[in-house]
C-alpha cells in the first residue's frame, strides 16, 4: 500500500491546522517541564519522554474519536495528550497526587483514561498489543465501527506477542492499527544491533497492508493514519504503519546519573534536532510557508501553551498526596 502523497492537508482549515500544531507544542512543553522537574526530584519515579515523536501521536489521534481506543507504551504522555487526555490530571498523576487520573497510583508509565478511550501507558514492552487486540475484538463484536490503535516501539516489535496480534487480527479482520514508532533505539542499544530485516515487512506474510512513513513529517503521517483508520472503520481489517522517527532524549531522563558510558554520538543527536528533522519545527515551517502563522502568532501560541503547562504544574504541586487509607482501594485480590 502506498501513502496517498497527492493528497495534502489542503482540506483542513487554518484553524484546524493551528489546533494540531498547538497539540504538538503542548506535548513538547509538558515533556520539557518534566525533564527539568525530574532533575529537581519533584516527583517519584522515572520519565520516558516523547520529544521528537509528537507528529505520530497527534496525526493518528486526529482521526480518532473518544469512542475509539488506543494503547500506549512506557513513553506514553504524548499519546495521552493527543487522544484528548486532561493535562492537569496527567501532571498530577506523574507527581503521584490524589487528583491524578489514576489517583496517583500509576505514575508516568500508567497514565490512562478509559472514558476517553485511553487504555494507558504501559511499563511492559509489547503489553499494549494484547490490550489493543482485545479492544479491537470488542469493537468488531459491537459493530459500532470503533477502531483500536496500538502504538509501540521498534524494541517491542521483537516481542512474540506482535506475531500473535498480527495473526489473529488479520484472520478475524479486526479494526486494529499497528503503529510502530521506530525511533532507532531500545534503551541504550541501536535498533540495527537487535533487529533483523525491516520491521514493516513482518506484517506482509499475514496479509496485512503496510505503510512506511517518515514519522517526523506530519503530513505524511496524517495521510497514512487517514488511510489506516478508513480501512478499519470499513471493516477491511488491520493496517501496519512503520513510522521512522528519532528519540531526541535519553531512554529515561537523567540516565547519565547511572550510565557509565555514552552510547550515541552527539553529532547524530544534533542532526535530528535540526529544523529539517524535528517534527514540531517542520510542521511550524509548513504553517509559516502557507502563511497560516507568523512570528507574532507563534509567540502568542507559545505563551498560551506555557500557561496551560504552568497551570497543570500548579494543579499537581498543590494537590494532596493520596491518603494512606486508600492504599488498597481499587485492588483486586
Q: Which of 9, 12, 18, 123 binds ligand TPP (CB under 6 A)?
A: 123
Contact by Cβ (8 Å): 18, 298: no
* Cα 205 versus chain centre, distance: 27
In the complex, what is the shortest distance from the CB of residue 147 to ligand TPP, in angstroms, rounded to a whole number? 22
In the complex, what is the shortest distance from the CB of residue 15 to ligand TPP, in angstroms, rounded to a whole number? 32
255: contact with ligand TPP by CB under 6 A: no
Q: Tell which phi-psi region holds residue 310, choosing left (phi > 0), alpha (psi between -120 and 50) or beta.
A: alpha
Q: Which of 113, 154, 214, 220 binds Mg ion (CB under 5 A)?
A: 154
Binding partner at 74 among Mg ion, ligand TPP, none, C-beta below 5 to 8 Å by kind: ligand TPP
73: contact with Mg ion by CB under 5 A: no
Please, which residue, 85 or 126, has the CB nearer to ligand TPP?
126
In the complex, residue closest to ligand TPP by CB = 153
Binding partner at 156 among Mg ion, ligand TPP, none, C-beta below 5 to 8 Å by kind: ligand TPP
Please, which residue, 30 or 92, has the CB nearer to ligand TPP?
30
74: contact with ligand TPP by CB under 6 A: yes
In the complex, what is the shortest distance from the CB of residue 247 to ligand TPP, in angstroms, rounded to a whole number? 5
216: contact with ligand TPP by CB under 6 A: no
Q: How many residues does the chain have?
A: 333
Please, which residue, 84 or 123, has the CB nearer to ligand TPP?
123
185: contact with ligand TPP by CB under 6 A: yes
- Dist CA 285 CA 280 (whole Å): 9
| Residue bearing cell 506482509 | 204
Name the H helices within the chain.
14-39, 54-61, 77-82, 87-94, 127-142, 161-171, 191-194, 218-233, 266-273, 279-289, 295-318
Binding partner at 322 among Mg ion, ligand TPP, none, C-beta below 5 to 8 Å by kind: none
Please, which residue, 2 or 257, has the CB nearer to ligand TPP?
257
- Dist CA 70 CA 127 (whole Å): 12
31: contact with Mg ion by CB under 5 A: no
Strands 176-182 and 148-153, bridge-based pairing? parallel
DSSP 8-class letter at 284: H
Q: Which of 153, 237, 250, 279 binds Mg ion (CB under 5 A)?
A: 153
| Residue bearing cell 482549515 | 13
155: contact with ligand TPP by CB under 6 A: yes
Please, which residue, 166 or 313, has the CB nearer to ligand TPP?
166
208: contact with ligand TPP by CB under 6 A: no
Instruction: Transcribe 142-171 into DSSP letters.
Output: HTS---EEEEEETTGGGSTHHHHHHHHHHH
Q: What are phi and psi of 23, to 5 degrees?
A: -65, -45
Name the residues that contact Mg ion, by CB under 5 A. Answer: 153-155, 183
Amino acid at each position: 500500500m502506498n501513502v496517498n502523497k497527492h493528497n495534502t492537508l489542503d482540506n483542513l482549515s487554518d484553524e484546524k491546522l493551528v489546533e494540531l500544531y498547538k497539540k504538538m507544542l503542548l506535548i513538547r512543553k509538558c515533556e520539557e517541564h518534566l525533564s527539568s522537574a525530574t532533575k529537581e526530584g519533584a516527583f517519584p519515579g522515572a520519565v520516558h519522554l516523547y520529544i521528537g515523536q509528537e507528529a505520530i501521536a497527534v496525526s493518528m489521534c486526529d482521526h480518532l474519536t473518544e469512542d475509539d481506543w488506543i494503547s500506549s507504551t512506557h513513553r506514553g504522555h504524548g499519546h495521552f495528550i493527543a487522544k484528548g487526555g486532561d493535562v492537569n490530571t496527567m501532571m498530577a498523576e506523574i507527581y503521584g497526587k490524589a487528583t491524578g487520573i489514576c489517583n496517583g497510583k500509576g505514575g508516568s508509565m500508567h497514565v490512562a483514561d478509559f472514558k476517553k478511550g485511553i487504555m494507558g501507558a504501559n511499563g511492559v514492552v509489547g503489553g499494549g498489543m494484547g490490550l489493543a487486540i482485545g479492544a479491537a475484538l470488542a469493537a468488531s463484536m459491537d459493530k459500532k465501527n470503533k477502531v483500536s490503535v496500538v502504538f509501540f516501539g521498534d524494541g517491542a516489535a521483537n516481542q512474540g506477542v506482535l506475531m500473535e496480534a498480527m495473526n489473529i487480527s488479520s484472520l478475524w479482520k479486526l479494526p486494529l492499527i499497528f503503529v510502530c514508532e521506530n525511533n532507532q533505539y531500545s534503551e541504550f542499544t541501536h535498533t540495527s544491533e537487535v533487529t533483523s530485516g525491516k520491521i514493516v515487512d513482518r506484517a506482509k506474510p499475514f496479509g496485512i497492508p503496510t505503510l512506511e512513513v517518515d514519522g517526523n513529517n506530519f503530513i505524511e503521517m496524517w495521510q497514512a493514519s487517514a488511510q489506516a483508520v478508513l480501512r478499519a472503520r470499513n471493516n477491511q481489517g488491520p493496517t501496519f504503519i512503520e513510522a521512522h522517527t528519532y528519540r531526541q532524549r535519553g531512554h529515561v531522563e537523567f540516565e547519565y546519573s547511572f550510565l557509565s558510558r555514552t552510547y550515541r554520538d552527539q553529532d547524530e543527536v544534533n542532526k535530528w534536532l535540526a529544523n529539517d528533522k524535528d517534527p514540531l519545527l517542520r510542521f511550524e515551517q509548513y504553517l509559516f510557508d502557507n502563511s497560516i502563522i507568523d512570528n507574532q502568532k507563534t509567540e502568542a501560541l507559545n505563551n498560551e501553551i506555557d500557561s496551560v503547562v504552568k497551570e497543570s504544574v500548579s494543579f499537581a504541586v498543590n494537590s494532596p498526596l493520596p491518603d494512606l487509607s486508600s492504599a488498597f482501594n481499587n485492588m483486586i485480590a
